[in-house]
Amino acid sequence: MSDDTSKALFERAKRVIPGGVNSPVRAFKSVGGDPVFVDRAEGAYLFGANGAKYIDFVGSWGPMILGHAHPAIVAAITSAAARGTSYGAPTELEIRFAEKVIALYPSMEMVRAVSSGTEATMAALRAARGYTGRDLVVKFEGCYHGHADFLLVKAGSGAMTLGIPDSAGVPARVAEGTVTLPYNDVPALEALFASRGKDIAAVILEPVVGNMGVVPPKPGFLEAIVSVCAKHGAVSIFDEVMTGCRVARGGMQERAGLRPDMTCLGKIVGGGMPLAAYGGKRAIMEKVAPLGPVYQAGTLSGNPIAVSAALALLERLDGAVYEKLEALGARLQAGFERSLAAAKVTGCVQRVGSMVTLFFTEGPVTDFASASKADTKRFAAWHRGLLQRGVYWPPSQFEAAFLSAAHTEADVDAAIAASEAALRD
């Protein structure tokens, strides 16, 4: 596929936007080549400004669980826009959104709408600190919770991809307020609480990591987080921005049968619009202004267009969607595993439902250290091979790919065939 168009657009973009992109991993820096500039998207497909059609396994990094431009969601957006794009005043739509989220996530007794996953985690942690009167935050190496200063410490996603897990511009005294531990390491968690338990406000984690590639929790890890926090009076926070309504309608907490103290949601829950949410136990959420002293606000929070899109999406998430996603995910995983074996290439496919990563390392990948062993050059070559064959895969070894209910078995088989060929390039 000729990519003169992408090249020309990228050159133009780089003159006026840092790195030519509005979010770092989009720049293809770790895989080489020019990013695809998108003209439009429909169902499981992206159509590039270069005229090419791609089977999309990025899905806007998660939200597009029903595929792009779903007619019901487009209709909801259109009709909401005709009624005004933003009011800065409450609407009945926001109540319906909160009621829906609480119905799906019973651990969330109250919920606040915000505009991005970054805002959700930032606000949840502020509420946790306000509630406990403690300052220390615990996160896990390779988990990414948005770009708030105190969370850009040993962070995954683009920060890991670009080799800057500890961002410049974060004051040392701010970073010192965050302690990091290896993911899946219960003894390390217990040891930290034994020594500093009285100072810890909250433990935040991705209950399935998507931001260092897909890394599932080991049996007992999530349970340990919830119980250790409860024992020491700290707040457990599941960042389900990626896993929420993705690994199950009620997220990973539904699959695990757990009720964390707080939950952060975004992506799917936002209907593919700039909408996210945080919430949790009533006693914690009652600390949030105007009820309590923890301040958090936003002109576009609960925006009527975004909330309308979210409601239209959420009401379409039935059991059939998740059955289809599981079947497609299993098919993709088996096919990729066959392609690795046939090409005699070392790799492992990690998957939870419709979140998938092919790691170019023996595996299993259980934490930041094992993820870091992946052969990123091999990944880059494979990624280029997929792209040349019309498969749009996340341009980083350390990101999850996503299936949607709009994908077909034929789309998945095309990706498997592209992988087979790419591994032989």
Task: Enumerate binding residues for ligand HOZ (CB under 6 A).
Answer: 23, 25-26, 61, 157, 211, 399
State which residue, 170 or 343, has the beta carbon closest to ligand HOZ.
Answer: 170
**144 labelled catalytic:** yes
Q: Which residues face 279 on adjacent strands?
A: 111, 263
State in angstroms the smallest separation of the CB of 394 from ligand HOZ.
8
State in angstroms the smallest separation of the CB of 213 from ligand HOZ.
10
Instruction: Give me the catalytic one of 267, 281, 322, 392.
Output: 267
**425 labelled catalytic:** no
End-to-end distance of the chain based on CA atoms, in angstroms? 16
Q: How far apart are CA 263 and CA 278, in angstroms?
A: 6
State which residue, 98 or 380, has the beta carbon closest to ligand HOZ.
Answer: 380
State which residue, 142 or 250, has the beta carbon closest to ligand HOZ.
Answer: 142
Closest CA to 210 of 186, 230, 229, 183: 183
**278 labelled catalytic:** no
State which residue, 107 or 397, has the beta carbon closest to ligand HOZ.
Answer: 397
3-state secondary structure of 59: helix
Alpha helices in 82-171 (DSSP H): 92-104, 117-132, 157-161
State in angstroms the smallest separation of the CB of 272 from ligand HOZ.
12
State which residue, 61 or 193, has the beta carbon closest to ligand HOZ.
Answer: 61
Instruction: Give me the catalytic one of 34, 56, 185, 239.
Output: 239
* 8 contact partners, CB below 8 Å, separation of at least 6: none
Closest CA to 275 of 424, 116, 390: 116
Closest CA to 122 of 152, 163, 156: 152
Q: Which residue is nearest to ligand HOZ (CB)?
A: 23
- Between helix 304-314 and helix 92-104 the angle, nearest 10°, is 40
Q: How far apart are CA 265 and CA 14, in angstroms?
A: 32
State which residue, 43 or 266, has the beta carbon closest to ligand HOZ.
Answer: 266
Are the C-beta atoms of residues 37 and 5 closer than 8 Å to each other? yes
Closest CA to 382 of 364, 348, 349, 358: 358
State in angstroms the smallest separation of the CB of 48 from ligand HOZ.
16
State in angstroms the smallest separation of the CB of 60 from ligand HOZ.
7
Instruction: Give me the catalytic one of 54, 105, 144, 322.
Output: 144
State in angstroms the smallest separation of the CB of 169 from ligand HOZ.
18
Chain position carrying tokens 């499981």: 44
Active site residues per annotation: 144, 239, 267
